[in-house]
């Protein structure tokens, strides 16, 4: 079952999002983006076109898109020239004829410029230059830095992305590679993303990388991936079904390859554990990109995660981040928050996956980690409501760690059988859909067989940190 978010508030220029109302637009839903990008690395020059197929949710005399600072050459609606106005971070398009409610339409935007990140309270996000290449890190508002879009997590769409650039560079896009063609000094890469995808989870990575694939024996040069069948146990050691093993590839700077093979050598085991706990991996493959530059934090994208050179040291120092980003493929990417108030459903779940992996791999138990983090969070000010932290604290450490503590406390409250059955049902039943805190509470109560109102009020709605069960 795919849950749908309510339609945005009426008005062409706002999504009605309580945290980021300036991002996203009302009056339509995007169904598909077809992006054609020609990128020159040295001058950071992008010549591009975007064809956006959408459906009107109300009668529209104009349509607004979120878009960065590019020169627009022309705009078409259903193949006919349209008037447009670029004002700030919005592109306003007025078609020759009004669009009826329920009608499908296609907007084409042809543009050129030097892509650069979008400034935000969390720093610069979006398309960014590397020392030799480029990356896209869009969470939460960076997608307009490289294509015109309806930049709201609830408006998930499918994608086709074509990137043409100099042949020495490998191009990785969040999607399945369907074509690659080299002519003279350039190569054209074509990727398709068939699953509904939020704009912030689309990514382009360009660099001088070696391409590797993960087999049962470790990482090897990429020669084409074929899925293997894998017996996966649901619950605790019981095998309930057979899943396809997940094709896993990586793009890594040659100088970091040996260190990478050590640091990511247990990723295959992580995939098996998360499938056992959360159900089948939700995408066709999983791709890791390690940039030759340092990054402050790893970045999740749809079917992909991006790490900096500083996250690779050959000692598995950052292994918890490897499983954290992998867990986001279920929680955050397949299950996407209906709006940013619910971000603990992304970060709390991914953080708890870290604790489960630690226990699985012979490290500290989830209970020990919960005790440690409970002590640390208790020493901080009690001024964050996890269910609605506020826009300034969307990425506060307490959202991550107290979110994980909430799950650990819920596990103690309802017992392991109900808890792990709940996590799997949550991921499977909302696969590729939208989720809210209220929806999770409702499902948790169904698996508990009783009301959990007092429990969730204490853990999610009350700033004061409750005692940890079993501490």
Q: b/e string for 52-62 if b means 16 or more Cβ within 10 A?
A: bebebeeebeb
DSSP 8-state class, residue 461: I
* DSSP annotation string for 213-261: EEETTEEEE-S-----EEEEE-SSS-EEEEEEPPPEEEEE-GGGHHHHH
Number of Cβ within 10 Å of residue 256's Cβ equals 21
The closest alpha carbon to 227, from 219, 218, 240, 215, belongs to 215
**Residue 328 known to bind ligand:** yes
- Coil/strand/helix, residue 141: coil
* Residue in 108, 300, 325, 354 annotated catalytic: 325
Q: b/e string for 285-306 if b means 16 or more Cβ within 10 A?
A: bbbbbbbbbebeebbbbbbbbb
- 281 has catalytic annotation: no
Alpha-carbon gap, residue 90 to 22, rounded angstroms: 9
- Coil/strand/helix, residue 54: strand
The values of phi and psi at residue 170, to 5°, are -85, 140
Q: What angle do CA 364, 368, 372 make, to 5 degrees?
A: 115
For the chain, helix, strand, coil in percent to 5 are 25, 35, 40
- Coil/strand/helix, residue 193: strand
Say if residues 118 and 144 touch (Cβ distance below 8 Å): yes
- Coil/strand/helix, residue 449: coil
**Residue 195 known to bind ligand:** no
Alpha carbon 240 to its chain centroid, in Å, reads: 29
The values of phi and psi at residue 156, to 5°, are -85, 140
Say if residues 118 and 68 touch (Cβ distance below 8 Å): yes
Tokens (6 digits) for 198: 């939020």
**Residue 324 known to bind ligand:** yes
Residues 6+ apart with CB under 8 A from 461: 385, 387
Say if residues 253 and 208 touch (Cβ distance below 8 Å): yes
- 400 has catalytic annotation: yes
Tokens (6 digits) for 36: 């054609």
H or E stretch at 426? helix 416-429
Strands 434-435 and 336-337: parallel
Burial (CB count <10 Å: 0-12, 13-18, 19+), residue 32? middle
Alpha-carbon gap, residue 135 to 269, rounded angstroms: 28
Q: Which residues are annotated as a binding site for Zn(2+)?
A: 324, 328, 347
Which are the catalytic amino acids? 325, 400
Annotated binding site: 324, 328, 347
């Amino acid at each position: 079952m795919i849950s749908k978010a309510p339609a945005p508030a009426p008005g062409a220029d706002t999504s009605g999002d309580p945290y980021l109302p300036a991002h996203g637009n009302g009056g339509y839903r995007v169904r598909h983006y077809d992006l054609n990008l020609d990128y020159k690395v040295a001058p950071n020059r992008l010549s591009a076109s975007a064809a956006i197929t959408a459906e009107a949710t109300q009668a529209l005399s104009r349509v607004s898109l979120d878009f960065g600072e590019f020169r627009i050459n022309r705009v078409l609606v259903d193949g006919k020239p349209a008037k447009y106005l670029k004002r700030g971070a919005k592109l306003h398009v007025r078609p020759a004829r009004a669009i009826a409610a329920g009608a499908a339409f296609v907007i084409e935007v042809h543009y050129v410029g030097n892509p650069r990140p979008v400034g935000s309270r969390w720093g610069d996000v979006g398309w960014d230059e590397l020392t030799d290449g480029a990356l896209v890190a869009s969470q939460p508002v960076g997608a307009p830095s490289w294509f015109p879009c309806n930049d709201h997590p609830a408006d998930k769409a499918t994608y086709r992305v074509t990137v043409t650039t100099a042949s020495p560079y490998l191009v990785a896009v969040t999607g399945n590679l369907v074509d690659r063609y080299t002519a003279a000094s350039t190569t054209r890469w074509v990727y398709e993303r068939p699953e509904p995808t939020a704009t912030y989870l689309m990514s382009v990575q360009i660099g001088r990388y070696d391409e590797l694939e993960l087999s049962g024996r470790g990482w090897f040069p990429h020669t084409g991936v074929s899925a293997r069948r894998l017996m996966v146990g649901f619950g605790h050691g019981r095998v309930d079904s057979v899943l396809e093993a997940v094709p896993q590839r990586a793009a890594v700077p040659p100088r970091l390859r040996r260190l990478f093979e050590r640091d990511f050598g247990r990723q295959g085991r992580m995939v098996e554990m998360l499938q056992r706990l959360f159900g089948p991996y939700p995408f066709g493959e999983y791709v890791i990109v390690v940039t030759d530059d340092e990054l402050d934090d790893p970045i999740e994208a749809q079917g992909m995660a991006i790490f900096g050179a500083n996250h690779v040291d050959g000692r598995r120092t950052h292994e918890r981040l490897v499983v954290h980003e992998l867990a986001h493929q279920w929680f955050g990417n397949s299950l996407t928050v209906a709006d940013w108030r619910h971000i603990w459903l992304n970060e709390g779940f991914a953080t708890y996956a870290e604790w489960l992996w630690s226990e699985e791999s012979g490290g500290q138990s989830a209970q020990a980690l919960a005790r440690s983090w409970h002590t640390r969070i208790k020493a901080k000010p009690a001024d964050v409501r996890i269910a609605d932290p506020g826009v300034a604290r969307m990425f506060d450490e307490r959202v991550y760690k107290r979110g994980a503590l909430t799950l650990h406390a819920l596990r103690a409250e309802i017992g392991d059988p109900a808890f792990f059955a709940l996590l799997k049902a949550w991921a499977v039943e909302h696969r590729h859909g939208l989720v809210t805190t209220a929806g999770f509470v409702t499902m948790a109560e169904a698996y508990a067989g009783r009301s959990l109102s007092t429990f969730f009020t204490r853990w999610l709605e009350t700033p004061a940190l409750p005692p940890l069960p079993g501490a």
